[in-house]
Amino acid sequence: TDKGRVTFSFNEKTWPDSHITEDIAALAAEFAAKTTLYIPGITPQKRLGILVSKQDHCLMDLLNRWELGKLDCRIQFVASNHPQSEVVLHRLARFNIPFVKLPTSPDDKASPDQPRKQEQALLQLAKDTDFLVLARYMQVLSGAFLKEYNRDVINIHHGLLPSFKGANPYRQAFNAGVKMIGATSHFVTEELDSGPIIEQLVDRVSHRDDVSQFAIKSKTLEMRCLTDAVTYFLDNRLIRYGTQPNERVMTLN
Residue from 193, 209, 210, 235 carrying the catalytic annotation: 193
CA–CA separation, 14 vs 30, rounded Å? 23
Pick from 118, 193, 117, 113: nearest CA to 154: 193
C-alpha 198/C-alpha 189 separation (Å) is 13
Assess whether 130 carries a catalytic annotation: no
How large is the angle between the packed helices 211-234 and 169-176, nearest 10 degrees?
Answer: 120
Q: What distance, in Å, lies between the first and last C-alpha atoms of the chain?
A: 18
**Alpha helices, DSSP H only, in 31-168?**
57-67, 86-94, 117-125, 143-149
CA distance 141 to 167: 14
* Positions marked catalytic: 193
